Structure 1
């Protein structure tokens, strides 16, 4: 019998806020309800924004909330070698390609097309799809540019990846009570275009590392915010390409700020540490997030 396993996976790039508290508490509650494990993962592949101080803050906030997890904690920055193996496999199977266009190049290319009256397609988050003109380069041209030190990222060749599928991609979405599967969601990874799977100096991205981590940690149930609902399509595609098991998913509602937008670390929305310092209790936090 498969041991049910949940995970809470924050990034240490800012203080945890009420949205994180809701997700962590909900994961702990659901795991308790069915006698499942709860694992903590630190998603710290972004070395420019993630810091030990923010990571220490995550532990303090979760312990204060009463969220307990099973040791040991998995830190993504300690597993680049594992991500590199998966990336090398995708490179060997010609499912990714080096993309050399900078953000400025992309903006200029798209602006020119839109100036001519062509609407450029956008992904579910509203960002323009990558032009993917690099795919026209020969293997020799790609190698030459890499040898010259031209910056690049490894992007998924979505057309090549989708051609490998022998059936439609779906994922299982369950209710937050009882973990009962309620529907199969049609996955549309093509809506994201050729996404970044790795940087030249970091052999992974959020999408690649999260599917590998979920598989290696035996995650059976992923409980996370609705802001990641559409991204699940990309992750299902990667699971299929790499032969990884798929967990069941539940995408919960978001805790919104007074202005109606989702809370954000980058916008320095009030963190749990600040609320604690102001006298809030864990019971206050539970009431504030609706638990």
Structure 2
């Protein structure tokens, strides 16, 4: 019997026009109306606006959460259920909603505050490295204060995060096929996010976390868990902790998962998993039309 995991992409997967086919569906209309009431702006309008607005963290994160959550609801309407769930950075919030840990509304309020705090961060820099010597990178990170491994996506692709000077030093000293600065407002998933994480904790503490209905693999600790208090603790560490996606991908295979569905725009996560676990069957659902009957 096939064991299926659903995974949810985060910031960087957004695309102008995403979710356009969801606005005429009953579940889409309902969720979009709730979202507009909470956010004070229209997700569908932002998704169809210019790329500059959609790519701003303040808007990107709530838009992805809402669109991916609607796709989850549509999958359930067709009788589909995952055996495990996981999400990349922002996507972890959709995973927790999918697992029944908190309501759509509670999750959106968390994402809204997270986006506000991260959007207002002005210190730090991030950069993606592709095709590099892992040992050399690890050595330089240990020797360079102020920079950490933010996203360990797979063996050949990572993101570093830290002070502009420290990130520039790593980019200059570690040979890579590609080293690309990221257009973000701050050093996400690094200790530099500690002030924002402390402020966010106040909102996180106000939300009730139920035990998960299916196991969740978290970014900071990629082992299956269902206990609500454990999942809350893991999420509280996410803003300053590394996204351990390479280990998470390996854990999916260790759990006997033989099929992964990426629910949301783009194909980033299936691409990353393919490079780590080539034997897992991979699918993508970014629109209602792609949901199997």
Q: What is the TM-score when the length of structure 1 is the normalising length?
A: 0.33
> Is the radius of gyration larger for structure 1 or structure 2?
1
Give the number of the structure whose residues are more often helix, by fraction: 2
Using structure 2 for the length normalisation, give the TM-score. 0.33
